[in-house]
C-alpha cells in the first residue's frame, strides 16, 4: 500500500500543472513519426524518431519534470551521498520485461556497465566518471564515481541510459541479435508490429508496474514521408498527434485554427534544442572576432522567430539555453543593430570576401531562414554564397570543416557539462564529427572552466563557473547563436496529459488519455 | 534457339555486373557515407563511435576490396545486409515489391486503356471540337509536374470532397480482412495510380491518335473502303490493329520499369514501395539497399528485353531466319 501511495504521489508530481478531468482508460492514439526510424532498439540507436517510438517500449531509472527535477521511473527512490560520489537507486520490485521475465538490478548493471558502454557514444562520455556499478541486491543499484560529476543525476533519462534485457543480450553480438527487430522493454507499451514504410503498432503493457497505467490501448505511428501529406493526414482526421517538426512551420498556423486542435511547445526542456550558425574560426573573414560579432548584430532574430517559427521559441542570448541548468542572462547582448555591424566590419577592414553559407537540409523552414539571414548579412555589406547539400553532404562538409557559416541545432541535455562544453572546448577539435568543436575555437580559460564546472560540487559553485564561461563566450562569439527552438506539438484537444515531462512525447504516452 | 537464349543470358549477366560496378562507384562518389549519417543522427559522435560504425559497415576497407566483397555476394544472389535497417537487403526489397507492383501495374493499365481509348476517339473525330478537347487535355497531362498534380488531387478528392483516402496503402488500424481489405486497398490505390498514370496516358493517347491517322491513309484501308465495308468495322479491324504496333512497343518499354517503383508518387502518397525505399536509402547513403534496388531493377529490364526478343523470334519467322 505504501509503495502504491509512493508511486501515485510520483505520478501526480509529474502530471502537476496539466489540469484535467478524471483519466479514462481505452482508445487509440494515431501519431505521425518522421522520418521512419532505422531501428527501435534504443540501446543501439539513439536518434530522434527511434527515441520517440521506443521511449514507450524501453525505460530508464528516472524521468524529469519541466524544471529538470528527477522523477521516479524504474527507480522509485534514490539517495545521493554528501560527497557526491555514491548514487544509490531503489528499484520497483514488481517490474517484468515484455516477454514475462522478471526485471532486476542485474539488468541495470548489464545495461550501464557493459551494453551501453559499447554502443552509446554520448553516455560513454559520462561513464568516464564512474568507478563501479554494482547490484547489492535484486532491487538496488549503486553507482560509485571516481570524482564528483555535477550532471550525473541527469543521465538516467530513457534515451541517455535505456535499460535493456540482460537475458536476451548477454553474450550475443548486440548489433545483429535478431531480437532487435522485436524490442523487449519494461515500458508502458509493447511492440506488436512494424510494417516498414507504413506504420508501427504498440499495444498497452497489461503488466505495467504502475497500477492503472497506461490508459491508452494502442498507439499507431504513421510513417508519412511528405510534409504536406502529414498536414493533410491531420486535417482529414487520420492522425491526432503531430509531434514537433512533423509539418512545415508555415502550415502550423492553419492547422492550429482547425476545430478541437491544441498546440504546445513544451516537452523539449530536457534536450533544449539550441540553433546557431557555425562560424569557421580557423580561416576566412569568420576567423576575426569583430566579423563574428558583426554577424550577431546583423541578424534580425526576432523577425525569424515571428515569421518563420510562428513566434515559438526564444531568441538565444547565451550558449546555454534558458531551460538548461546554470543559464545566465548577465552576458553581452546582441540586439538587431545593422549600424553597429557595419562599424565592426569597417573597423576590421572587411574586404568583401564572400562567405559560404550552408543551410540545414531539413526542409523548407531552414531554407527560408537561410534566405533571411543572407539578406540580413548582405544589408550590412557581407557577401554570401549559398551552398546546397543533402543531409549526408552537410554532415561531411561540417565534419571536414569545409564551410564558412553553417546552420545547425544541438541538444543540451539539461546541463552545460553534457551538451554545451562539447562545442567549445579545444580537446574536442577533431575532424570527423559534425557535433564537436567544428568551429575550431580555442581558449584555455574556457577549457579550464568547463573542466572545473563538470566536477565542482554544489549548485552555487557550478553556477559561478558557468556564468563566467557564458560571459567569455558571448564576448568571443565562437558561433552565432540564433534561437532556442520551439517545436510545436499539434494535437486534438481531447488528448490529455500528452506532454507531462521535460522529455515530452518521447515518454508521454505513459500518462496520456483520450477524454470521451 | 537454346544457344540463342544461353548466349543472351551470358550477355545479360555481363551487363548486369557492369551496371552494378558502375553504380557502386557512382554511389561512393557522393559526399558522406552511412556511418557519418548515422553518427550525425545519434546527435553525438566521437572518433571511436565513427570507427565502430565504419568497421561494422566494412567502410574501413579499400574501395576495390569493398567492391570485390559485394560482387562476390551478388554472384551468389546475396544482396548484402542493411545495417541501418538491421535486415537483409533482399528481404527489404521483397517486402516492398507487392506494393510497388500493385501501384505501377495499376497505373500501367489505367494509362494504357484510357490513353488508347482517348486516342482512338480523337482520331475518329479529327479536327472536331472533341478532338481538340482530348488533345488539349492530353497535352496538359503531359506537361503537368507529377508532384503538383498529386498534391492537387489529394487536396480536391481527399481534403475538400472527402471521397478518397489521401495517402497510405490501406487504412492503418482498420484490421480489414478478405474482400473488405481488397476494397480498402483499391480505394487507397485510385489516387496514386491515376496520378502516376497521367503522363503515360497522354503519351499513349498522342501515339494512338497519330498512328491511327497514319494507318488510315494506307492502301489496304482504301481497299477496305472500296469493298464497301462499314466505317466502324474498318476502324476496329483494319486500322486499330495495325496502329497498335508502336503502342505495344512503348508499353513493353514501360513494363520494364514497373519494378523500379515511382519515387515521387510513393513519397506524396506515403505508398510503402520500392521507390521510397530507394529514396530513403539514397538520403541515408544506405549503400547496400541502393545497390540492391538498382540490381533488381536492372535485372528486370534485361529480363523483359530478353523475353521480348524471344517473343519476336517466335512471332516473326523472318527474325528467326536471320
Q: What is the DSSP annotation of A60-88? A: -SEEE-TT--EEESSEEEEEE-TTS-EEE
CA dihedral B10, B13, B14, B17 (to 10 degrees): -170
**Burial (CB count within 10 angstroms: exposed 0-12, middle 13-18, buried 19+), residue A259:** exposed
Interface test with A, best of B85, B164, B167, B170 (most A CBs within 10 A): B167
Whole-angstrom Cα distance, residue B45 to residue B60? 17
**Between chains, do B276 and A197 touch, taking CB under 8 Å as contact?**
yes
Per-residue pLDDT of chain A (516 residues; tens, 9 = 90+): 333 334 333 333 333 334 456 899 999 999 999 888 888 999 988 888 899 999 999 999 999 998 999 999 999 999 999 888 999 999 999 999 999 999 999 999 999 999 999 888 889 889 999 999 999 999 999 999 999 998 999 999 999 999 999 999 999 988 888 899 899 999 999 999 999 889 999 999 999 999 999 999 999 999 998 888 999 999 999 999 999 889 988 899 899 999 999 999 899 999 889 999 999 999 999 999 999 999 999 999 999 999 999 888 999 999 999 989 999 999 999 999 999 999 999 999 999 999 999 999 888 889 999 999 999 999 999 999 999 888 888 888 888 899 999 999 988 889 999 989 989 999 988 887 788 899 999 999 999 999 999 999 888 999 999 999 999 999 999 999 999 998 899 999 999 999 999 999 988 799 999 997
**Between chains, do A433 and B46 touch, taking CB under 8 Å as contact?**
yes
Q: Give the pLDDT confidence score for residue A338 in this predicted structure.
A: 97
Hey, is A244 helix, strand or coil? coil
Whole-angstrom Cα distance, residue B2 to residue B7? 9
Whole-angstrom Cα distance, residue A115 to residue A111? 5
Specify the pairing of strand A218-223 against strand A28-33.
parallel
Which structural domain, as residue segments, surrounds residue B155?
101-284
Residues 38-67 of B with CB under 8 A from A: 38-50, 56
**Between chains, do A395 and B37 touch, taking CB under 8 Å as contact?**
yes
Question: Which of B37, B158, B167 lies closest to A224 in CB terms?
Answer: B167
**Burial (CB count within 10 angstroms: exposed 0-12, middle 13-18, buried 19+), residue A172:** exposed
Interface test with A, best of B44, B59, B60, B90 (most A CBs within 10 A): B44
Question: Which of A228, A232, A392 lies closest to B36 in CB terms?
Answer: A392
**Burial (CB count within 10 angstroms: exposed 0-12, middle 13-18, buried 19+), residue A143:** buried
| A53, A464, B93, B304 from A514: Cα distances, Å | 19, 45, 38, 53
Give residues with Cβ within 8 angstroms of A222, minimum separation 6: A30, A31, A32, A33, A198, A199, A233, A238, A239, B168, B172, B270
How far is B272 from chain A, CA to nearest CA, in Å? 5
Check if the beta carbon of residue A75 is closer than 8 Å to that of residue A87. Answer: no
Instruction: Give chain B positions within 8 Å (CB) of A222.
Output: 168, 172, 270
Question: Which of B44, B154, B162 lies closest to A435 in CB terms?
Answer: B44
DSSP H or E stretch at residue A419:
helix A416-419
Full 3-state SS string of B12-34: HHHHHHHHHHHHHHHHHHCCCCH
**Burial (CB count within 10 angstroms: exposed 0-12, middle 13-18, buried 19+), residue B318:** exposed
Residue A31 backbone dihedrals phi, psi, to 5 degrees: -125, 145
Q: Confirm whether B218 is domain-assigned.
A: yes
Q: Confirm whether B24 is domain-assigned.
A: no
Q: Give the pLDDT confidence score for residue A65 in this predicted structure.
A: 92
Whole-angstrom Cα distance, residue A113 to residue A64? 22
Rounded to the nearest 10 degrees, the angle between the axes of helix B89-124 and helix B274-283 is 120
Check if the beta carbon of residue A49 is closer than 8 Å to that of residue A33. Answer: yes
Across A102-215, the runs of DSSP E, i.e. the strands, are: 130-137, 140-145, 189-195, 199-204
Interface test with B, best of A32, A38, A200, A224 (most B CBs within 10 A): A38
Residue B110 backbone dihedrals phi, psi, to 5 degrees: -60, -50
Question: Which of A180, A196, A395 lies closest to B40 in CB terms?
Answer: A395
Instruction: Give chain B positions within 8 Å (CB) of A430.
Output: 47
How far is A180 from chain B, CA to nearest CA, in Å? 8
Q: Confirm whether B6 is domain-assigned.
A: no
In the predicted structure, residue B258 carries a pLDDT above the cut 80: no
Q: Give the pLDDT confidence score for residue B245 in this predicted structure.
A: 78
**Between chains, do A229 and B40 touch, taking CB under 8 Å as contact?**
no
Whole-angstrom Cα distance, residue A481 to residue A23? 41
Q: Give the pLDDT confidence score for residue A20 in this predicted structure.
A: 52
pLDDT in tens, B270-298: 999 998 899 888 888 888 999 999 998 88
Residues 88-127 of B with CB under 8 A from A: 92, 95-96, 99
**Between chains, do B83 and A46 touch, taking CB under 8 Å as contact?**
no
| A199, A350, A384, A386 from A354: Cα distances, Å | 46, 10, 5, 10
Specify the pairing of strand A130-137 against strand A75-80.
unpaired
Q: Confirm whether B187 is domain-assigned.
A: yes
Q: Give the pLDDT confidence score for residue B74 in this predicted structure.
A: 86
One-character DSSP codes across B86-154: TEEHHHHHHHHHHHHHHHHHHHHHHHHHHHHHHHHHHHHTTTSHHHHHHHHHHHHHHHS-HHHHHHHHI
Per-residue DSSP letter, A363 = -
Q: Could you count the other beta carbons within 10 Å of the beta carbon of residue B27? A: 18
| A338, A342, A450 from A296: Cα distances, Å | 9, 11, 24
In the predicted structure, residue B322 carries a pLDDT above the cut 70: no
**Between chains, do A175 and B56 touch, taking CB under 8 Å as contact?**
yes
Question: Which of B47, B158, B279 lies closest to A432 in CB terms?
Answer: B47
Q: Give the pLDDT confidence score for residue A340 in this predicted structure.
A: 96
How far is B165 from chain A, CA to nearest CA, in Å? 9
Q: Confirm whether B95 is domain-assigned.
A: no
State the CATH number of the domain containing residue B175: 1.10.3720.10
Instruction: Give chain B positions within 8 Å (CB) of A48.
Output: 41, 43
Cell numbers 499495444 correspond to what residue?
A203
CA dihedral A366, A337, A378, A398 (to 10 degrees): -40
How far is A404 from chain B, CA to nearest CA, in Å? 18
**Between chains, do A392 and B30 touch, taking CB under 8 Å as contact?**
yes
- B160 interface with A at CB cutoff 8 Å: no
Per-residue DSSP letter, B161 = S
**Between chains, do B172 and A395 touch, taking CB under 8 Å as contact?**
no
Residue of B nearest to A178 (CA): B86
Q: Confirm whether B308 is domain-assigned.
A: no
Write out the three cell numbers for A489. 506539438
Q: How confident is the model at residue B44 (pLDDT cuts 50, 70, 90)?
A: low
CA torsion through residues B224, B228, B233, B234, sign: positive
How far is B270 from chain A, CA to nearest CA, in Å? 5
Q: Confirm whether B315 is domain-assigned.
A: no
Q: Confirm whether B80 is domain-assigned.
A: no
Q: Give the pLDDT confidence score for residue A2 in this predicted structure.
A: 38
Check if the beta carbon of residue B30 is closer than 8 Å to that of residue A393. Answer: yes
Whole-angstrom Cα distance, residue A71 to residue A82? 20
How far is A109 from chain B, CA to nearest CA, in Å? 22
Per-residue DSSP letter, B240 = I
Give residues with Cβ within 8 angstroms of B243, minimum separation 6: B208, B211, B212, B214, B215
Check if the beta carbon of residue B69 is closer than 8 Å to that of residue B58. Answer: yes
Instruction: Give chain A positions within 8 Å (CB) of B95.
Output: 196
Rounded to the nearest 10 degrees, the angle between the axes of helix B47-57 and helix B34-42 is 140
The domain tally of chain B equals 1
Instruction: Give chain B positions within 8 Å (CB) of A434.
Output: 36, 39-40, 45
CA torsion through residues B53, B58, B64, B70, sign: negative
Cell numbers 511547445 correspond to what residue?
A265
Over chain B, what is the mean pLDDT? 86
Q: Count CA within 13 A, CB hemisphere, residue B38.
A: 29
**Between chains, do A226 and B270 touch, taking CB under 8 Å as contact?**
yes
Whole-angstrom Cα distance, residue B268 to residue B229? 51
Q: Give the pLDDT confidence score for residue A101 in this predicted structure.
A: 96
CB pairs under 8 A between A and B: 170
Question: Which of B48, B151, B169 lies closest to A198 in CB terms?
Answer: B169
Whole-angstrom Cα distance, residue A218 to residue A190? 9
| pLDDT higher at B284 or B90 | B90
Whole-angstrom Cα distance, residue A56 to residue A200? 12
**Between chains, do A229 and B268 touch, taking CB under 8 Å as contact?**
yes
Whole-angstrom Cα distance, residue B275 to residue A104? 45
Check if the beta carbon of residue A503 is closer than 8 Å to that of residue A411. Answer: no
Q: Give the pLDDT confidence score for residue B251 in this predicted structure.
A: 81
Interface test with A, best of B38, B42, B90, B267 (most A CBs within 10 A): B42
**Between chains, do B43 and A218 touch, taking CB under 8 Å as contact?**
no
Distance of CA A93 to the CA centre of its chain: 30
Q: Give the pLDDT confidence score for residue B117 in this predicted structure.
A: 93
Residues 171-210 of B with CB under 8 A from A: 172-173
Distance of CA B188 to the CA centre of its chain: 19
How far is B292 from chain A, CA to nearest CA, in Å? 17
Q: How confident is the model at residue B242 (pLDDT cuts 50, 70, 90)?
A: confident
Question: Which of B32, B37, B43 lies closest to A122 in CB terms?
Answer: B43
Beta bridge partners of A264: A489
Interface test with B, best of A395, A411, A422 (most B CBs within 10 A): A395
| A41, A218, A408, B44 from A47: Cα distances, Å | 11, 23, 16, 10
Amino acid at each position: 500500500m505504501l509503495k502504491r501511495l509512493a508511486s501515485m504521489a510520483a505520478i501526480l508530481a509529474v502530471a502537476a500543472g496539466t489540469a484535467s478531468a478524471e483519466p479514462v482508460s481505452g482508445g487509440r492514439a494515431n501519431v505521425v513519426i518522421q522520418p521512419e526510424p532505422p531501428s527501435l532498439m534504443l540501446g543501439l540507436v539513439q536518434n530522434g524518431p527511434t527515441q520517440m517510438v521506443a521511449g514507450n517500449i524501453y525505460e530508464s531509472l528516472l524521468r524529469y519534470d519541466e524544471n529538470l527535477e528527477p522523477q521516479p521511473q524504474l527507480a522509485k527512490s534514490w539517495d545521493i551521498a554528501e560527497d557526491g560520489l555514491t548514487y544509490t537507486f531503489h528499484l520497483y520490485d514488481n517490474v517484468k520485461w515484455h516477454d514475462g521475465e522478471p526485471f532486476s538490478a542485474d539488468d541495470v548493471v548489464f545495461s550501464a556497465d557493459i551494453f551501453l558502454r559499447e554502443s552509446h557514444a554520448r553516455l560513454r562520455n559520462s561513464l568516464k566518471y564512474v568507478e563501479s556499478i554494482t547490484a547489492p541486491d535484486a532491487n538496488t543499484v549503486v553507482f560509485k564515481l571516481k570524482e564528483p560529476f555535477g550532471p550525473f543525476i541527469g543521465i538516467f533519462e530513457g534515451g541517455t541510459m535505456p535499460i535493456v534485457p540482460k537475458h536476451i543480450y548477454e553474450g550475443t553480438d548486440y548489433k545483429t541479435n535478431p531480437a532487435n527487430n522485436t524490442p523487449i522493454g519494461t515500458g508502458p507499451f509493447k511492440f506488436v508490429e512494424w510494417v516498414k514504410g507504413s506504420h508501427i503498432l504498440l499495444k498497452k503493457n497489461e503488466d505495467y508496474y504502475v497500477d492503472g497505467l497506461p490508459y491508452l490501448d494502442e498507439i499507431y505511428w504513421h510513417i508519412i514521408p511528405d510534409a504536406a501529406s502529414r498536414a493533410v493526414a491531420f486535417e482529414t482526421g487520420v492522425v491526432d498527434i503531430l509531434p514537433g517538426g512533423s509539418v512545415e512551420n508555415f502550415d502550423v498556423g492553419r492547422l492550429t485554427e482547425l476545430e478541437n486542435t491544441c498546440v504546445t511547445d513544451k516537452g523539449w526542456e530536457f534536450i533544449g534544442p539550441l540553433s546557431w550558425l557555425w562560424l569557421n574560426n580557423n580561416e576566412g573573414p569568420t576567423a576575426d572576432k569583430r566579423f563574428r560579432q558583426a554577424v550577431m548584430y546583423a541578424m534580425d532574430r526576432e523577425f525569424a522567430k515571428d515569421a518563420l517559427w510562428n513566434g515559438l521559441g526564444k531568441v538565444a542570448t547565451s550558449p546555454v539555453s534558458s531551460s538548461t541548468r546554470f543559464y545566465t542572462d548577465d552576458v553581452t547582448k546582441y540586439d538587431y543593430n545593422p549600424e553597429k555591424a557595419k562599424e565592426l566590419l569597417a573597423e576590421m577592414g572587411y574586404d568583401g570576401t564572400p562567405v559560404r553559407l550552408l543551410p540545414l537540409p531539413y526542409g523548407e523552414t531552414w531554407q527560408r531562414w537561410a534566405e533571411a539571414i543572407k539578406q540580413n548579412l548582405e544589408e550590412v555589406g557581407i557577401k554570401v554564397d549559398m551552398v546546397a547539400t543533402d543531409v549526408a553532404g552537410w554532415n561531411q562538409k561540417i565534419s571536414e570543416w569545409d564551410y564558412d557559416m553553417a546552420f545547425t541545432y544541438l541538444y543540451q541535455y539539461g546541463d552545460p557539462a553534457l551538451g554545451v562544453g562539447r562545442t567549445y572546448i579545444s580537446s574536442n577539435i577533431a575532424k570527423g564529427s559534425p557535433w564537436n568543436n567544428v568551429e575550431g575555437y580555442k581558449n584555455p580559460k574556457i577549457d579550464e572552466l568547463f573542466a572545473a564546472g563538470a566536477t565542482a560540487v554544489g549548485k552555487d559553485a557550478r553556477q559561478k563557473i558557468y556564468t563566467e564561461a557564458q560571459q567569455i563566450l558571448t564576448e568571443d562569439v565562437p558561433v552565432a547563436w540564433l534561437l532556442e527552438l520551439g517545436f510545436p506539438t499539434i494535437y486534438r484537444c481531447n488528448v490529455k496529459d500528452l506532454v507531462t515531462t521535460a522529455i515530452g512525447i518521447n515518454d508521454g504516452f505513459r500518462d496520456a488519455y483520450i477524454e470521451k | 534457339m537454346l544457344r540463342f537464349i544461353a548466349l543472351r543470358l551470358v550477355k545479360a549477366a555481363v551487363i548486369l555486373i557492369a551496371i552494378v560496378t558502375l553504380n557502386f562507384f557512382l554511389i561512393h562518389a557522393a559526399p558522406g557515407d552511412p556511418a557519418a549519417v548515422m553518427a550525425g543522427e545519434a546527435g553525438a559522435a566521437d572518433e571511436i563511435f565513427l570507427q565502430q560504425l565504419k568497421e561494422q559497415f566494412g567502410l574501413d576497407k579499400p574501395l576495390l576490396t569493398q567492391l570485390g566483397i559485394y560482387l562476390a555476394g551478388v554472384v551468389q544472389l546475396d544482396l548484402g545486409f542493411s545495417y541501418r535497417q538491421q535486415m537483409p537487403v533482399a528481404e527489404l526489397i521483397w517486402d516492398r515489391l507487392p506494393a510497388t507492383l500493385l501501384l505501377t501495374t495499376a497505373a500501367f493499365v489505367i494509362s494504357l486503356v484510357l490513353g488508347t481509348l482517348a486516342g482512338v476517339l480523337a482520331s475518329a473525330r479529327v479536327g472536331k471540337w472533341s478532338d481538340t478537347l482530348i488533345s488539349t487535355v492530353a497535352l496538359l497531362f503531359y506537361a503537368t509536374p507529377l508532384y503538383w498534380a498529386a498534391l492537387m488531387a489529394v487536396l480536391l478528392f481527399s481534403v475538400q470532397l472527402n471521397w478518397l483516402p489521401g495517402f497510405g496503402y490501406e487504412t492503418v488500424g482498420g484490421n480489414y480482412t478478405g474482400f473488405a481489405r481488397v476494397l480498402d486497398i483499391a480505394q487507397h490505390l485510385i489516387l496514386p495510380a491515376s496520378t502516376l498514370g497521367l503522363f503515360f496516358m497522354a503519351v499513349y493517347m498522342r501515339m494512338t491518335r497519330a498512328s491511327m491517322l497514319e494507318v488510315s491513309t494506307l492502301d489496304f484501308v482504301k481497299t477496305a473502303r472500296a469493298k464497301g465495308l462499314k466505317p466502324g468495322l474498318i476502324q476496329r479491324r483494319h486500322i486499330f490493329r495495325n496502329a497498335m504496333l508502336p503502342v505495344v512497343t512503348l508499353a513493353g518499354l514501360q513494363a520494364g520499369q514497373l519494378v523500379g517503383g515511382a519515387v515521387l508518387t510513393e513519397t506524396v502518397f506515403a505508398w510503402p514501395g520500392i521507390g521510397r525505399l530507394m529514396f530513403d536509402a539514397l538520403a541515408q547513403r544506405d549503400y547496400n539497399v541502393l545497390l540492391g534496388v538498382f540490381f533488381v531493377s536492372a535485372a528486370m529490364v534485361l529480363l523483359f528485353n530478353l523475353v521480348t526478343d524471344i517473343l519476336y523470334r517466335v512471332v516473326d519467322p523472318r527474325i528467326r531466319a536471320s
